[in-house]
């Protein structure tokens, strides 16, 4: 009796990706498959699949991490279905939560992929991905700037040098910098340490300014329409707008404000058991960088927009942190609205 194939065989590949090697688990729709290690090159996996699983419908998945999306783009170019997943979305049974190896991780990913319980994160295109890198470079420079300022002030404090009251603020004016340059310690070694730190400060300061300028320029060039829509909202400045467009991608992909607030981390958490209901504040799962930018932008919004001022005063008297989170969520709602309607925000219009 001749047998005929009535359905396309399916192959599910879970990959635990690392810099020097991949741990791969291949499972089919009929068998649990096998696990093996390989060099970290997508073309080698293609050769293996072509040799051992010809004519199979291939699905792959791996955890988002330091290796980025290069492997994903290669798999897609092979005609495979590829998912890049959040590690927190991979379900682990009780015992599996206490045992972690690369082999087990690859098997879990393949199992969840086979059972169709995985969903991919949004993979940005290369233009947006590299703009995101520029935005994150700026944030790295902010941290470096904060650190070098602390080192300089620490040295002054250590040697008992008081900063003049009119110069003692977070903004380091040219007058303050000239005052630091004019300081003279008893020995040259103290002077050289301070001069070295001031050179580092000036280098980081210039890098910060240059990167900020490039970030604004490239955002205007590649995403001008959405950039100008976001800039119409009080509190959303050039850097915040650039961060939103690079980190969150196209906001039109979010179904509603609840979906977007959950992604950013401005959705309220709740715990309920029987008659016990407790609000746990904002969600722990968040895009922490963008959430912090929205919190900062909210303080600016309540200074410049009468509607936001009224909303803030309406809740005045409560915990300041919880009130500003409410304002940030309202600002986030405006952000989604102007992009979806493609209509600039008009200050003072009641919502």
296-349 tens-digit pLDDT: 999 999 999 998 988 888 887 778 888 898 899 999 999 999 999 999 998 765
Candidates 244, 158, 217; CA nearest to 193 is 158
Phi, psi of 268 (to 5 degrees): -70, 140
Give me the percent of the chain exceeding a pLDDT of 70. Answer: 94
**Could you count the other beta carbons within 10 Å of the beta carbon of residue 80?**
20
Inform me whether the pLDDT recorded for 216 exceeds 90: yes
Whether 265 and 213 share a structural domain: no
In a domain, 3, yes or no: no
In a domain, 121, yes or no: no
d(Cα 237, Cα 11) in Å, to the nearest integer?
Answer: 48
Which has more pLDDT, 196 or 348? 196
How far is residue 348 CA from its own chain's centroid? 32
Inform me whether the pLDDT recorded for 51 exceeds 50: yes
Candidates 189, 196, 182; CA nearest to 152 is 196
Inform me whether the pLDDT recorded for 5 exceeds 60: no
Write down how long the chain is: 351
- Give pairs for 18-25: CB < 8 Å, separation 24+: 18/67, 18/102, 19/66, 19/67, 23/102, 23/103, 23/105, 23/106, 24/106, 25/103, 25/106, 25/107, 25/109, 25/110
In a domain, 97, yes or no: yes
Whether 51 and 106 share a structural domain: yes
Whether 229 and 333 share a structural domain: yes
Which has more pLDDT, 6 or 33? 33
Whether 250 and 193 share a structural domain: no
pLDDT in the model for residue 317 = 74
Distances from the Cα of 287 to the Cα of 243, 254, 264, 269, 282, angstroms: 12, 15, 5, 15, 12
Whether 229 and 211 share a structural domain: no
Whether 166 and 244 share a structural domain: no
Whether 245 and 298 share a structural domain: yes
d(Cα 333, Cα 233) in Å, to the nearest integer?
Answer: 11
Helix locations, the chain, DSSP H: 42-52, 70-77, 102-114, 126-158, 174-182, 188-222, 224-231, 238-243, 257-264, 288-304, 306-314, 320-341
Q: How confident is the model at residue 350 (pLDDT cuts 50, 70, 90)?
A: very low
d(Cα 281, Cα 268) in Å, to the nearest integer?
Answer: 5
Q: Say what the pTM is.
A: 0.88
Phi, psi of 283 (to 5 degrees): -65, 145
Whether 109 and 139 share a structural domain: no
d(Cα 298, Cα 291) in Å, to the nearest integer?
Answer: 11
In a domain, 88, yes or no: yes
In a domain, 119, yes or no: no
Whether 194 and 95 share a structural domain: no
Whether 31 and 95 share a structural domain: yes
Q: Which of 57, 91, 114 is the last residue of a domain?
A: 114
In a domain, 347, yes or no: no
Per-range mean pLDDT, top range of 39-43, 163-167, 270-274, 345-349: 39-43
Q: How confident is the model at residue 99 (pLDDT cuts 50, 70, 90)?
A: confident
Span 10-33, average pLDDT? 93
Per-residue pLDDT tens digits for 235-269: 999 999 999 999 999 999 999 999 999 999 988 77
In a domain, 180, yes or no: yes
106 lies in which domain range? 10-114
Which has more pLDDT, 224 or 346? 224
pLDDT in the model for residue 3 = 57
Q: Using an 8 Å Cβ cutoff, are 11 and 105 in contact? A: no
Q: Which of 172, 188, 222 is the last residue of a domain?
A: 222
**Could you count the other beta carbons within 10 Å of the beta carbon of residue 11?**
21
Q: Using an 8 Å Cβ cutoff, are 265 and 312 in contact? A: no
| 34-38 sheet: strands from edge to edge | 34-38, 22-28, 10-17, 57-63, 81-85
How far is residue 121 CA from its own chain's centroid? 12
In a domain, 209, yes or no: yes
pLDDT in the model for residue 277 = 64
Whether 98 and 132 share a structural domain: no
Per-residue pLDDT tens digits for 107-160: 999 999 999 999 999 999 999 999 999 999 999 999 999 999 999 999 999 999
């Amino acid at each position: 009796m001749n047998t005929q194939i009535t359905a396309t065989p399916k192959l599910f590949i879970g990959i635990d990706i690392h810099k020097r090697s991949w741990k791969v688990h291949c499972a089919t729709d009929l068998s649990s498959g096998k696990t093996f290690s390989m060099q970290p090159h997508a073309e080698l996996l293609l050769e293996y699949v072509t040799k051992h699983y010809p004519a199979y419908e291939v699905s792959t998945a791996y955890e988002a991490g330091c290796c980025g999306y290069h492997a994903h783009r290669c798999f897609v170019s092979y005609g495979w279905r590829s998912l890049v997943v959040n590690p927190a979305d991979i379900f682990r049974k009780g015992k599996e939560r206490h045992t972690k190896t690369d082999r087990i991780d690859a098997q879990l990913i393949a199992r969840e992929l086979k059972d169709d319980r995985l969903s991919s994160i949004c993979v940005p295109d290369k233009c947006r991905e590299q703009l995101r890198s520029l935005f994150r470079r700026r944030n790295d420079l902010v941290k470096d700037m904060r650190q070098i300022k602390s080192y300089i002030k620490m040295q002054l404090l250590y040697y008992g040098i008081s900063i003049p009251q009119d110069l003692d603020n977070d903004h380091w004016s040219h007058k303050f910098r000239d005052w630091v340059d004019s300081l003279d310690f008893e020995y040259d070694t103290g002077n050289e340490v301070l001069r070295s730190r001031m050179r580092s400060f000036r280098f980081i300061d210039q890098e910060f300014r240059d990167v900020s300028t490039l970030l604004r320029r490239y955002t205007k060039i590649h995403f001008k329409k959405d950039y100008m829509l976001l800039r119409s909202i009080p509190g959303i400045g050039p850097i915040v707008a650039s961060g939103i467009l690079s980190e969150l991608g196209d906001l039109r992909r979010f179904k509603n404000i609840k979906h977007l607030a959950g992604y950013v981390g401005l959705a309220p958490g709740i715990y309920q058991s029987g008659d016990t209901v407790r609000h746990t504040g904002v969600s722990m799962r968040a895009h922490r960088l963008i959430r912090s930018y929205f919190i900062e932008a909210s303080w600016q919004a309540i200074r410049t927009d009468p509607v936001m001022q009224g909303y803030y005063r309406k809740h005045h008297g409560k915990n300041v942190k919880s009130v500003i989170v409410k304002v940030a969520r309202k600002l986030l709602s405006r952000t989604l609205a102007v992009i979806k309607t493609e209509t600039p925000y008009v200050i003072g219009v009641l919502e």
